[in-house]
Amino acid sequence: MGGSLRRVLVCLLLAGLVATLTGAAAPGRGYATGRYALELDGVFVGWLQSAEGGYAYSDVVAEQVGPDFIQRKHIGNVKYEEITLKVGANMTQPFYQWLKDTLEGQHIRKSGSVIFTDYDSREVQRLSFTNALITEIGFPALDAASKDPAYLTIKFAPEAARRVKGSGVPVKFPPVGSKQKQWLPANFRLRIDGLERATTRINKVEALTVKQKVVTDAVGEFRDYEIEPTKLEFPNLVMTISEVDADAWYDWHESFVIQGNNGTEAEKGGRLEFLSPNLKEVLFSLQFSGLGIFKLAPEKSEAGAEQIRRVKAELYVERISLSLPVASALPVEQAKPAVPVTMPDPVPADQVRTLERGVK
């Protein structure tokens, strides 16, 4: 009797092991988060560190209280959350070009999908969006003592977005380059025109976030809003320098702020380069124009403290432009997925409008 029971238990154990190895899971079983990929206009542009947002919602409208003393409610037109992506330096050329065009005020609209896969690269679901405008480009804070990887934070607002159930078929995208492993916030070089020698010992640059405002244009016969760009907002450039290099900065501050010599001819240009670990290759760079200093002050330090004395400089910026890397992680012609996926029409047929219109 004991031998029969042992044989039954062994058989059950083997059956469970075989089911696990072959993927025969119970119906409805959950799955762990896998990987995120981004397509723009049908072209794979890279793997993402994270992705969130993009789902539909509506505002609740409360009506006046009626004779029955009940406040009736209804919802307004459908809206869509901004989609937020965190990406490294291993994206392809079309993605960087979209960022570059936005910083130059070209207001390029993109349609595409954020693809969610499991750890076996099977497509679980995709978030398809249309006519998206970038609303925020965030460059990370730079610190010469940091050991963490650096990421860009990108936000864009779609005019429409739909969640689509994945096909379950493994997706095969080209392998990405190794630039993400190379991009660290400790590797950078900042130069200000006329202050080249005074910018060789900068140890920190605060995060830079460029914002593009958009407004919604409600159309009576459609539930979806149209979105239109308004203006670009550029952040201040804030850095920490060694006090030994501060004399030239104090001279500029004295002339520009105190003496009032702050016309356009007194503004400066600059360049921030994001470097590889060997500090020789430039991954990409930012060009600043219309730089004007408005604050310069020593950082707080304690008497007898064993630390380098530093000064914080704050400059306003009128324009920021992006210089793309010499060679992107993937050539454009190799950036197409091996298994093409057709993006469904995100708007029902009875409510469809011309989403794929030309750029205004």
The answer to whether position 15 is within a domain reads no
User: Three-class SS of residue 228?
Assistant: strand
3-state helix, strand, coil in the chain (%, to 5): 20, 40, 40
The answer to whether position 300 is within a domain reads yes
- CA dihedral for 265, 271, 272, 277, sign (positive or negative): negative
Instruction: Pick the closest to residue 81 from 150, 33, 138, 129 (CA basis).
Output: 129
CA distance 104 to 234: 12
The answer to whether position 163 is within a domain reads yes
Q: Looking at residue 327, what is its pLDDT?
A: 47
What residues make up the domain containing 211? 32-58+73-338
Strand partners, 143: 204
The answer to whether position 171 is within a domain reads yes
Q: Looking at residue 176, what is its pLDDT?
A: 57
CA distance 195 to 237: 15
Q: Looking at residue 347, what is its pLDDT?
A: 42
Count other C-beta atoms under 10 Å from residue 247's C-beta. 10
CA distance 336 to 46: 10
248 sits in which H/E element? helix 246-253
The answer to whether position 347 is within a domain reads no
Q: Looking at residue 345, what is its pLDDT?
A: 46
The answer to whether position 352 is within a domain reads no
The answer to whether position 68 is within a domain reads no
Q: Looking at residue 108, what is its pLDDT?
A: 92
Domain count along the chain: 1
Tokens of 151: 């990421």
Q: Tens-of-pLDDT digits for all 360 residues of the chain?
A: 455 656 655 555 555 544 444 443 344 555 556 789 999 999 999 999 999 999 888 889 888 887 888 888 888 778 899 999 999 888 889 999 999 999 999 989 999 999 998 888 888 999 999 999 999 999 999 999 998 999 999 999 999 999 988 888 887 776 655 555 578 999 999 999 999 999 999 999 999 999 999 888 766 555 567 888 989 999 999 999 999 999 999 999 999 999 999 999 999 999 999 998 888 889 899 999 999 999 999 987 766 666 678 999 999 999 999 998 654 444 444 434 433 334 444 444 344 343 334 433
